[in-house]
Amino acid sequence: MNFDYSEQQLMIQQMVEDFASKEIRPNINKWDEHQIFPVELFKKAGNLGLMGVLVPEKYGGAGLGYNEYILIIEEISKVCGAIGLSLAAHNSLCVNHILKFSSESQKQKWLPKLSSGEWIGSWGLTEPNTGSDAMRMKCVAEKDGDYWVINGSKNFITHGISSDIIVVIVRTGDLLDSHGMTAFAIERGTEGFNAGKKEDKLGMRASETAEVIFDNCRVHEENIIGKIGEGFIQSMKILDGGRISIGAMALGMAEGAMNAAINYSKEREQFGKKISKFQGISFKLADMATEIEASRLLLFKAASQILNNKKSSYFSAIAKYKASEVAVSVSNDALQVFGGYGYVKDYPVEKFYRDSKLSTIGEGTSEIQKLVISRTLLNK
């Protein structure tokens, strides 16, 4: 087992680090303060292959694997978790759903635009009254000839306003039937498909989150992804990969917060010496590094399951749970290292502190991850 990055992976890591330093870091505070979703940034990301990381080259993607994907999301999130979140949602949810379950003609139609950054994608499962309890969804599609008429809404949708296409899971059968839901791909501009309220969030403010509304939205049956009734099963498989990307995002934020704390501890003096010389500070840093490295190994274990075509739900849940909780604890400790200065926007840790909490909620709360883990253990 080789824990070293390959030469290609190191080159990818450096490329993404350079991109984040040049295109993201100078704008972080402005985007965060004014809740700006920088659409043009993702066009530039597309030019580097970052919008179709897992997509084969024949569809215009980078043709990379999950190990490289983790590296990319991690490096972006070291600088800004919100941009890491948007990149992860686009790649793992919308693009990956089309890649895994669409027909060949659908892939050829949509993947090149999404992989190039010409289009930004979104993905819809959550509803106002059905968060973790997705099987009780009320967004319904009814068949009308060759069309399906969709009514209802989805909320907390990343890129709900700015996306050019959404993959949405809606009910086409009986309530609580796991085979009663279907996935549709709906392009922006389709009549009856509208954006609703944009959420004003605690953190991740540069990543757009909004409601989407379907009001007698007529969608042709050729826009169904896979077969009728497979939507829920598809979405659960997509979330396995999505949890790896959220774990990578959390890992990056934890590293960003730790690095800021390390640098500050080497500069800040109290009682006549650098605060890094105090055991109370140095032991915090040691704990941060240990938890971060443990999270990294769990993420690559989950990635190896996917790369080897093995069931990944258990390891994806463990990796996401660990990394997201570590992001919260490390950003909290990093803020403590800064003291009062950590509480003001002149320094980066308050943003890591705000942004990191989302990782324990999005794409399955920590409690849902523990549910997945414990059910697997008890059903062995």
Q: Which of 88, 120, 152 lies at the terminal end of a domain, its last residue?
A: 120
Looking at the structure, do residues 208 and 107 belong to the same domain, yes or no?
Answer: no
Q: Whole-structure pTM over 0.85, yes or no?
A: yes
Mean of pLDDT over the chain: 97
For 346, counting Cβ atoms within 10 Å of its Cβ (0-12 exposed, 13-18 middle, 19+ buried), the class is exposed
Looking at the structure, do residues 241 and 372 belong to the same domain, yes or no?
Answer: yes
pLDDT band at 124 (very low <50, low <70, confident <90, very high): very high
Maximum pairwise Cα distance, the chain: 79
Looking at the structure, do residues 237 and 188 belong to the same domain, yes or no?
Answer: no
Residue 1 lies in a domain: no
Looking at the structure, do residues 68 and 103 belong to the same domain, yes or no?
Answer: yes
pLDDT in tens, 294-316: 999 999 999 999 999 999 999 99
Looking at the structure, do residues 215 and 300 belong to the same domain, yes or no?
Answer: no
Work out the number of other CB atoms within 10 angstroms of the CB of residue 18. 12
Looking at the structure, do residues 115 and 130 belong to the same domain, yes or no?
Answer: no
User: Strand pairing partners for 142?
Assistant: 149
Residue 2 lies in a domain: no
Residue 314 lies in a domain: yes
Q: What is the mean pLDDT of residues 348-366?
A: 97
pLDDT in tens, 5-43: 999 999 999 999 999 999 999 999 999 999 999 999 999
Residue 110 lies in a domain: yes
Spatial separation of the C-alpha atoms in residues 183 and 81, rounded to whole Å: 28
pLDDT in tens, 205-239: 999 999 999 999 999 999 999 999 999 999 999 99
pLDDT band at 323 (very low <50, low <70, confident <90, very high): very high
Residue 87 lies in a domain: yes
Amino acid 132: pLDDT: 79
Task: Give yes or no for residue 135 having a pLDDT over 90.
Answer: no
| Residue ranges making up the domain that contains 366 | 232-378
User: Strand pairing partners for 352?
Assistant: none
Q: What is the mean pLDDT of residues 347-375?
A: 97
Looking at the structure, do residues 274 and 292 belong to the same domain, yes or no?
Answer: yes
Task: Give yes or no for residue 380 having a pLDDT over 80.
Answer: no
Looking at the structure, do residues 100 and 161 belong to the same domain, yes or no?
Answer: no
Residue 274 lies in a domain: yes
Q: Which of 199, 231, 263 lies at the terminal end of a domain, its last residue?
A: 231
Looking at the structure, do residues 287 and 336 belong to the same domain, yes or no?
Answer: yes
Q: Known catalytic residue: 7?
A: no
CATH of the domain at 164: 2.40.110.10
Contact 305, 311 (CB under 8 A): yes
pLDDT in tens, 157-175: 999 999 999 999 999 999 9
Looking at the structure, do residues 57 and 161 belong to the same domain, yes or no?
Answer: no
Amino acid 9: pLDDT: 97
Work out the number of other CB atoms within 10 angstroms of the CB of residue 168. 29
- Decide: helix, strand or coil at residue 182: strand
With a pLDDT cut of 90, the percent of the chain lying above it is: 96
Amino acid 107: pLDDT: 98
DSSP letter assigned to residue 6: P
Task: Give yes or no for residue 265 having a pLDDT over 90.
Answer: yes
Residue 289 lies in a domain: yes
Indicate the number of domains in the chain: 3
With a pLDDT cut of 70, the percent of the chain lying above it is: 100
Looking at the structure, do residues 209 and 270 belong to the same domain, yes or no?
Answer: no
Q: Which of 231, 248, 267 lies at the terminal end of a domain, its last residue?
A: 231
Task: Give yes or no for residue 131 having a pLDDT over 80.
Answer: no
User: Which residues, 6 or more positions from 210, have their beta carbon under 8 angstroms from its beta carbon?
Assistant: 157, 159, 160, 161, 195, 196, 197, 198, 199
Contact 234, 101 (CB under 8 A): yes
- The one catalytic residue in 74, 211, 363, 367 is 363
CATH of the domain at 71: 1.10.540.10
Residue 327 lies in a domain: yes
Task: Give yes or no for residue 1 having a pLDDT over 90.
Answer: no
For Cα atoms 193, 194, 196, give the angle at the middle one, nearest 5 degrees.
145
Side-chain-facing half-sphere of 46: CA atoms under 13 Å = 19
User: Which residues, 6 or more positions from 237, have their beta carbon under 8 angstroms from its beta carbon?
Assistant: 100
Looking at the structure, do residues 240 and 220 belong to the same domain, yes or no?
Answer: no
